[in-house]
Amino acid sequence: MKKRRKGKKEKSETLNPNSLLKIYKRFGSHYKKYGRVLAVAYACLFVGIGLSVLSPWPLKLILDHVILKAPLPAEVDFLSPLFSLDAKLLLLVLSLSILAMAILEAIFSYINKYWISSTGDRINADIRERLFAHIQRLSLSFHGTSRAGNLIYLLTSDVKEMKTILIDFPQDFVNRIVTFGSYLFLMLALDWRLGLIGLGTVPPMFLLTRYFSRRMKNAIRKRRKKEGDIASLVVENVTSMALVQAYGKEEEEKARFSKENEESQEASLQALRLHRMYSRLSETVVTLGTAGVLYVGGRLALGEAILPGTLVLFVAYLKDILGSFEKFSGLFIELAKAGVSGERLLEVLENEMITEDAPDAVAAPPFRGRIEFRNVNFAYQQGHEVLKNLSFVVEPGETVALVGHSGAGKSTLVSLLMRFYDPQAGQIFVDGQDIRRFTLKSYRDQIMILLQEAMLFRQSVRDNLSFGKDGATDEEIVEAAEMAEAHEFISEMPDGYDTLVAEGGKNLSGGQKQRLNIARAFMRNAPILILDEPATGLDARAEAKINIAIHRLTRDKVAFIIAHKLATVAGADKILMLEHGRLVGFGEHPQLMRDCAPYREIYDLQFAWQKVMRPIEAAASDDNGHSGVAQPVESSDE
């Protein structure tokens, strides 16, 4: 296993070619799947460019050689018989050619844009799936430091921008370059003086683009960061709505959202101001170039140095070439904006905080369940060890209660056992084999985990239960539900096992959710079980049902129970006491009461508190039942 994290490089202030090449290298493999479609799209693009270049020529021919009767140049003298036709007929032919070229250009443009756009959408979907799969593989260290809203924004808005980088920019770049080169060649061939005047607009357009692209990229990066912050704030607020309303903090949360929203809006306005300013300045440069060509070309036409049709052709070409250059410049503005998203995606995809299979990893055999921690040390951050030289052995079939104050390392211990992380030093063995020797999937397939909060998906009850076992049959699902004391309430639901579980299980009680969670664990039926007091916070009846189900579940399995209440340890074979990441006691309850002072201290504190609270709770119950406070009375009408 390797867990690596590349250092973050300082972001460039400009559109960095190396960064762009890195994006293309990382995502370029997505082209291969759509190679034929892209080839057809680009073929249509080139045909469309050719038709666009030819489209002004019928107008020049009509003006110079039909209306003014000027002789054809020697290079095209072979067309003279055509122009000897009746002027009206020739005018009709040339006019129809304009219409024919426009129709053909529209057809080829439609085919090009449809295939290009649809391919871009498909590539975006592929990248989103790839990113989602990578995020699922990232370790809990990454997820512990990442905001959920930012990841959601990456998977939605940032992924959309990849179409600009991978599809729109390459096509538009090729389109503008070929169009620009074709027009420039024809302009210089027709009259080099007017061609040079047109070229005079290129340097100022280049400088404008370079100046604004740098500032646009910084503004867009700031805007995207703020939008990610807003998404995180919304997720945080919505998932904690009950707490917000219970504490009456609606106005404070609204003010916090307004502040973030205003900062995001200001960043968006800054980007918009820069974009509008660039557009107006580039239009001014285009207008100056067109005016210069008209003036010089008009004088040349008056002096009969060029034909009037040539001037018309020049103005048409110049309008297209400068418009193309303006759009060409705008491409880099859009690329700078999309490049920010590409860099954000690369940061996640290049994040290698991944628990990986060793090169020689093998599939795990069926486990008996003997677990050994040998001199294990672990730290989330270098220099801050959470577990220190931890060593113990658990035999097959034993239930071990993990006890200790908050932060003692109980959750970290089970995270290492699940291989969410790997220790920096020491080894963990199952049945005498280092767990890093096994492939992750085959290893985790033999572990069940039940948390305090039951995690359910917005799927049917059947799908939630079969999540624990691929290809589960209906009989297996029902049997697991019966073992978990869940079949009765499932059968009473509107659609039984096909009832849709609401997001977060909001249409179920806490006990019902936990029993579905346990039924899912029965489906898995793995030899190693991890429990984080799944009955915590439930009423006595629900807790009793949960405890019955857990007793069945732990039978003949090695089980680790994270104990927050010492009453939980009653059914444990051994108790493992942690303090500040060190093992300070391991054995049965009488042994720890005798030899482990920290365990004895926790025991005395919890049971002393229960002795204090019991008469208070009894008195409160007595007051509620017999005090002079008016009690609710059933209406005789009901």
Residue 399 belongs to domain with CATH number: 3.40.50.300
> What pLDDT does 10 receive?
39
Q: Are 436 and 498 found together in one domain?
A: no
Q: Decide which of 525, 541, 558 is a domain's last residue.
A: 525
Residues near 450 by Cβ (< 8 Å), separated by ≥ 6?
514, 517, 518, 521, 529, 530, 531, 532, 534, 550
Q: Which of 1-15, 83-97, 329-343, 502-516 has the lowest mean pLDDT?
A: 1-15
Q: Are 410 and 402 in contact (CB under 8 A)?
A: yes
> What pLDDT does 634 receive?
36
92 or 636, higher pLDDT: 92
> What pLDDT does 144 receive?
62
Closest CA to 159 of 192, 179, 130, 138: 130
pLDDT per residue as tens digits for the range 446-494: 888 877 677 788 888 888 888 877 788 888 888 888 888 888 889 988 8
pLDDT at 109 > cutoff 70: yes
Q: Are 340 and 377 found together in one domain?
A: no
pLDDT at 72 > cutoff 70: no
Do β-strands 582-587 and 574-579 pair in parallel, antiparallel, or remain unpaired?
antiparallel
623 or 342, higher pLDDT: 342
Tell me the average pLDDT across 546-557.
79
Residue 3, Cβ neighbours under 10 Å: how many?
14
> What pLDDT does 335 receive?
81
Q: What is the DSSP code (8-state) at residue 535?
A: T
Alpha carbon dihedral 35, 36, 39, 41, in 10-degree steps, equals: -110
In a domain, 140, yes or no: yes
Q: Are 302 and 398 found together in one domain?
A: no
Q: Are 211 and 254 found together in one domain?
A: yes
pLDDT at 343 > cutoff 80: yes
- Rounded (5°) CA angle 506-240-152: 90
Residues near 439 by Cβ (< 8 Å), separated by ≥ 6?
357, 361, 362, 363, 364
Q: Are 521 and 537 found together in one domain?
A: no
Share of residues in the chain with pLDDT > 70 (%): 82
User: What's the predicted TM-score (pTM) here?
Assistant: 0.57
- Rounded (5°) CA angle 575-581-584: 45
Q: Are 465 and 518 in contact (CB under 8 A)?
A: no
pLDDT per residue as tens digits for the range 185-200: 887 887 888 778 877 8
Q: What is the DSSP code (8-state) at residue 529?
A: E
Structure tokens at 397: 């079939």
> What pLDDT does 244 receive?
75
pLDDT at 620 > cutoff 60: no
295 or 352, higher pLDDT: 295
- Rounded (5°) CA angle 417-418-424: 60
Q: Which of 46-55, 261-270, 422-431 has the lowest mean pLDDT?
A: 261-270
Q: Are 78 and 204 found together in one domain?
A: yes
Q: Are 43 and 168 found together in one domain?
A: yes
186 or 437, higher pLDDT: 437
Residues near 581 by Cβ (< 8 Å), separated by ≥ 6?
385, 386, 387, 388, 390, 408, 409, 412
pLDDT at 99 > cutoff 70: yes
Q: How many residues does the chain have?
A: 638
**What is the amino acid identity at position 609?**
W
H or E stretch at 575: strand 574-579
In a domain, 548, yes or no: yes
Q: Are 300 and 164 found together in one domain?
A: yes
**In a 10 Å sphere around its CB, with 0-12 CB exposed, 13-18 middle and 19+ buried, how is residue 489 labelled?**
middle
Residues near 162 by Cβ (< 8 Å), separated by ≥ 6?
27, 123, 124, 127, 338, 341, 342, 345
* CATH number of the domain bearing residue 106: 1.20.1560.10
In a domain, 633, yes or no: no
Annotate 497-517 with DSSP letters as a single string.
Answer: GGPBPPGGGTTS-HHHHHHHH
Q: Decide which of 322, 349, 376 is a domain's last residue.
A: 349
Distance CA 146, CA 257 (A): 19
In a domain, 451, yes or no: no
Phi, psi at residue 241, to the nearest 5°?
-60, -40
**In a 10 Å sphere around its CB, with 0-12 CB exposed, 13-18 middle and 19+ buried, how is residue 473 labelled?**
exposed
Closest CA to 292 of 303, 302, 280, 300: 300
> What pLDDT does 371 receive?
92
pLDDT at 637 > cutoff 50: no
In the chain, the number of structural domains is 3
Q: Decide which of 296, 321, 349 is a domain's last residue.
A: 349
Q: Are 399 and 284 found together in one domain?
A: no
Phi, psi at residue 534, to the nearest 5°?
-65, -10
**In a 10 Å sphere around its CB, with 0-12 CB exposed, 13-18 middle and 19+ buried, how is residue 158 labelled?**
buried
Q: Are 133 and 276 found together in one domain?
A: yes
Q: Are 426 and 375 in contact (CB under 8 A)?
A: yes
Q: Are 397 and 441 found together in one domain?
A: yes
Q: Are 324 and 176 in contact (CB under 8 A)?
A: yes
Q: Are 291 and 438 found together in one domain?
A: no
Share of residues in the chain with pLDDT > 90 (%): 11
Structure tokens at 387: 């577990």
In a domain, 632, yes or no: no
Q: What is the DSSP code (8-state) at residue 164?
A: I
In a domain, 6, yes or no: no
Domain containing 510 equals 458-525
In a domain, 596, yes or no: no
3-class secondary structure, 367: coil
231 or 499, higher pLDDT: 499
> What pLDDT does 567 receive?
64
pLDDT-based confidence at residue 410 (cuts at 50, 70, 90): confident
Tell me the average pLDDT across 261-267.
84
pLDDT-based confidence at residue 145 (cuts at 50, 70, 90): low
In a domain, 113, yes or no: yes
Bridge partners, residue 585, by sequence = 577
Residue 472, Cβ neighbours under 10 Å: how many?
19
Distance CA 173, CA 470 (A): 48
Sign of the torsion formed by the C-alpha atoms of 19, 22, 23 and 28: positive
Q: What average pLDDT does the structure give for the chain? A: 79
> What pLDDT does 155 receive?
84
8 or 505, higher pLDDT: 505
Taking each helix axis from N to C terminus, what angle separates 87-137 and 35-54, rounded to the nearest 10 degrees? 150
